[in-house]
Each structure stands twice: as structure tokens, then as C-alpha cells.
Amino acid sequence: GSTLAIGEGAQHIDVFEVDSNATYGDEDLQITGVATSGLAVSYESSNPDVLEVNGAKLKVRGAGVAVITAYQEGDDNYFAAADLNATVTIYTAELHAIADPKSKAYLDEAPELTFHYEGFVNDENASVLAVEPDATTDATDASVAGEYPITLSGGEAANYHFSYHGSTLAIGEGAQHIDVF
């Protein structure tokens, strides 16, 4: 007599689908992977600070690039499948910095220039910014009556890109009176 030796069979990952780009603040991304063996496909992220693997979902953690690897290690009946990779880019979210309008009278002290934000995601606030924008104007205490632009610039953040919205400083006529008559 003789024996029939049955060895492990070959398999490959037949389907591997993942969204290739998203924006910081987006919902979880779905991953689909199917091995010809029918065994479950697993996933790994090269950069968990950008995309964290959570089962068949990718949690968006930050802006940047991550390579997602789909793999199937095999079992007693199947050899491991060749890994497949997909590069996923997470773009920065748009953050609007909006200058507040200001006014003053001629020769009065210039008001403090202020602004506010719109567009933070994940319940974040200005504490996540590396550098807050600066608000500036060319107007001085002695500038003549008129309107002067207020501009914003210089903000920096890992997960946001800035969209600046300026405003105006309106300088009105100053009050005067006659001291001596």
C-alpha cells in the first residue's frame, strides 16, 4: 500500500477594497477583503496615527498617509496568501479663521483685533493648533477716518489647513469741543 499525502492549498486575496483618500474628521472608512480560501482577511496600518485598524474599519486619527496591508496567514489547509497593500491619504480639514469687524474714532486707541474659528472637527478647539493666526491692520491710532482691512495669516496645524476671512476696521470722525471761549 501507499499513502495519499494532502498538503496545504494555495490561496490569494481576491478582493481588497478601501477608500484611497478621505479628510480629517470623516467617519470610519470601510475595508473589504476576501480570500479565495474563505478564511478571514486581516489588516494592518503602517501609520496608526493617521489610520487605526478596527476590525473591518479604519478610524481616521490624523492627516497624512498610511499604507493598509491586507493579509491572510493561512491555516492547516491553506498556505498564507500574498499580502496586498493600499495607500490611503487623509487630507487636512478646512478651518475658517474669521476676523471680527472693529471700529474706533479718529485718534482713539486702536481696538484689539479678534477673530473666531469655524470648522473644528471631533470636538476640538484652538488648543490643537501649533500656531494661531495673527490679525493685523495697517491702521494706527492716528489714521484718518475711513475703512482699513483687517487680515489674518500665519496659522499652523497638523490636521487643518486655514481659510482666512478678513474684515474691516472702521475709523469714524473724532469728537471735539472748544476748550476756551
3-class secondary structure per residue, the chain: CCCCCCCCECCCEEEEEECCEEECCCCCEEEEEEECCCCCCEEEECCCCCEEEECCEEEECCCEEEEEEEECCCCCCECCCCCEEEEEEEECEEEEEEECCEEEECCCCCCCCCEEEECCCCCCCHHHCCECCEEEECCCCCCCCEEEEEEEECCECCCEEEEEECEEEEEECCCCCCCCC
Which pLDDT band holds residue 149 (cuts at 50, 70, 90)? very high
pTM over 0.85: no
Query: Over the stretch 19-51, which tens digit does the pLDDT of each residue have?
Result: 888 999 999 999 999 999 999 999 999 999 999
- Rounded distance between C-alpha atoms, residue 106 and residue 112, angstroms: 15
The cell numbers describing 96, all together, are: 475658517
- Does pLDDT of 174 surpass 90? no
- Rounded distance between C-alpha atoms, residue 129 and residue 106, angstroms: 36
Calculate what percentage of the chain has a pLDDT beyond 70. Answer: 99
Report the pLDDT value the prediction gives residue 173, as an integer from 0 to 100. 85
Query: Over the stretch 73-107, which tens digit does the pLDDT of each residue have?
Result: 999 899 999 999 999 999 999 999 999 999 999 99
